[in-house]
Structure 1
Amino acid sequence: MGYVLRVRLASFFAGAATASAVGLYVLQKDYQVAHESISRQMRGLYESLDGRVSALEKLKEAEAPQHVEATE
């Protein structure tokens, strides 16, 4: 195998390895940003749902004595 061919193959594989590393880094950053965004959305939905459940529980507690008085 000629010297020039070996140099070209080595350069090709070095470039492919560098491109793969950069690609994986960009993909990891994209995944991290997407994960944080979805986590923020889910946290907001959870807080909203928790507030609604608390409001329903308070409403249920307020209505419970009325039902007891009506049955007696």
Structure 2
Amino acid sequence: RERLFQPFSAGQSRSGSGLGLMICREIVTALGGQITLDNRMQHARVAGLDAIVRLPLASAESARTDAVRAGPDGSRTA
């Protein structure tokens, strides 16, 4: 199972960089979450993603204030 999260090189007949699940795991882990696999089927698949994202209150308040100040055409007023 751990091999699925390791970078690899695809053969010439395949496209992709072989980094998808590794990058997903890094992001989820950085956010304090966990990514799990279910390999009961013929092919392994991502079975779950558990992450809680907390934003600082000041950032959330600032974003709300910015949204209120933005006009319908995207213009901003002070």
Common fold by TM > 0.5: no
User: What TM-score does the superposition give when structure 2 sets the normalisation length?
Assistant: 0.24
Which is higher, the Rg of structure 1 or of structure 2?
1
User: What TM-score does the superposition give when structure 1 sets the normalisation length?
Assistant: 0.25
Bigger RCO (CA 8 Å, 6+ sep) = 2
Greater helix proportion: 1
Greater strand proportion: 2
